[in-house]
A and B are shown apart, each in its own frame.
Chain A
Amino acid sequence: MSMQMALPIAMIPGNSLIHRITPLPKMIWVVGYIVLAFSTTNIVILYSMALFAFLIAVISGVTRPLLKACVILVPIASSLLALQIIAPAVEKPWTSVGHIGALALYGNGVYYGFVLLGRIVASLIMALVVVMTTHPSDLFTTFAKLKIPYTFNFMLAMTLQLIPVFQREVGIIMSAQKSRGMKGRGFSAVLPSFVPVFVGAIERVQQLSISLESRGFGSAGIKTSYRQVKSRPSDWVVAIVGVVAIATLATMSIMRGTWNLSTVILFPHAFVFWLFVVAASVFAAVILVTVFYMFKR
């Protein structure tokens, strides 16, 4: 992974149905997804949510960048499943399904492991689809309509603008270090590069601060936005469908005590064994790559 690789924050331009929806209904869906994901332990619901979010990504035409961004799930998914098989986060007694050397493997944690993973996957895919199909300015205009203080909006918007700048500058400084025969990886290369980047940024924001002051930032009065976001009837339909569907599923889950299916869905011992082998191997590979990069000059 190179330093020049951009963070997956950019909106992917497009004119799909999802791109045309205003930010508020999309935000309702994201918040609803998080609420539903944490109010149920039903893996059918959780993975249906993930599948639905993925279908929305396909409709939006953001499948490739989404899959690229979802690579961050590989280490956490592998370690989560491996850890839940050797130490389930459920009450004892646990049922052993086999041993690898002195290490006992338990089937009880697999269901819970898939629940935790399903929560992360479903919420992450929906959030990323929304970020990739929403113009940041539209998002901040919507925040302003929701009475979120404009200084908070300004700080968040400015942060998103500064991230690629910082990232590029750290890359330039580290390349300069490498070209002078200095170390280009590890702590001794990264840590000193933060100082010039930050101090340079401070000098720039002092000018920006004066500019803001001269334009009356912080003065009383109604704040207006250059971009206008107007909701159409279809946006309201999307929002209402989202609220109704998510509230119904969340209520049903809560009424059934999180709707746990661990006694209905049973995983064969061989599946648990091989799942552990695959998950632990993937995670070990991630660790080995980490160690390799740490000690590579």
Chain B
Amino acid sequence: MTSAPVASAPRKSSRINRNNLPTTLIVTLIPVCVALNIVGGYIATALRLPVYLDMIGTAISSIVLGPWWGALVGLLTNCGSALISGPTALPFAIVNVAGALLWGYGVRSWKMGRTIPRFFLLNVIVAVVCTVIAAPIIVFVFGGATGNGADALTGTFLAVGQNLAGSVFSSNILTSLADKIIGGFVALAIIEALPRSLTANIDIVKATPLKGILFAVAGIVVGVLIVVIFLAVTAK
């Protein structure tokens, strides 16, 4: 008995990836995200904002395109920054990549973008992981200095008797929390404004007004600051 010929499933074109987006669109979207990261970081420095704003493009790409595309954006951001302002940004590429993977898998696989509290928690996780990775780099490569306002906090923690690694971690977690929560919610606002063809497959909550998020961030940062100061003083 011969079996009836079965039509094989249509082969997916190599030009179309799992997001159903043409590769050329992805190849052109990635530089937009990288440029947003670099310009965001530069604007934060130029306007002397106490955050970095250099991972908004990473968050957008990892949520819209996928975690590994986001990781590529993170890598390219630090490579591009190295071409612009020297190689000091290169060691932090790993922080950007880790953030991309967490945002990407968090929203796309672990469904942490379904509600505002879940998404808020995801940003807090990203902030903590980024600090855990960044703090040793700051200590071993830059002797604890970052050149921004967080160094004043590091100095304060050192003055109350904490060691260098602990002080860098404590000050970095504060800036990182503010940066990643704000960055995550700005990314959410941008994703909502993107064409439907790009965001159709993403299960993510609608953006919320940024003013409320800024108040929440301020509350969290103050709370963590109190805890960190308490731990530093009692550790002495």
Contact = CB atoms under 8 A, between A and B. Distances in A.
Specify whether A and B are partners.
yes
Of B86, B144, B214, chain A has the most CB atoms within 10 Å of the CB of B86
Given A7-B42, A86-B158, A194-B36, A160 B83 contact: yes
Interface stretch (A12-20, A40-48, A224-232, A283-291): A283-291
A128 B167 CA distance: 31
A43 to B, nearest CB: 14
A155 interface: yes
Contacts of B46: 1-3, 5
A293 B43 CA distance: 13
Interface in B96-147: 139-147
B182 A103 contact: no
Interface string B186-225: 1001100111001000000000001100100000000000
B40 A202 contact: no
Contact of B85 (A69, A86, A112): A69
B232 interface: no
A172 interface: no
Contact of A116 (B34, B83, B143): B143
Interface string A208-222: 111011000110000
A72 B86 CA distance: 11
Question: Chain A interface mostly helix, strand, loop or mixed?
Answer: helix
A75 B186 contact: no
B43 A72 contact: no
A270 interface: no
Interface in A172-201: 185-188, 190-192, 194-195, 197-199, 201
Nearest to B15: A218
Of A83, A160, A213, A290, chain B has the most CB atoms within 10 Å of the CB of A83
Of B25, B154, B163, chain A has the most CB atoms within 10 Å of the CB of B25
A293 B48 contact: yes
A205 interface: yes
Interface of B: 15, 22-25, 27-32, 34-36, 38-40, 42-50, 53, 56, 60, 76, 79-80, 82-88, 139-149, 151-152, 154-155, 158-159, 163-164, 167, 182, 186, 189-190, 193-195, 198, 210-211, 214
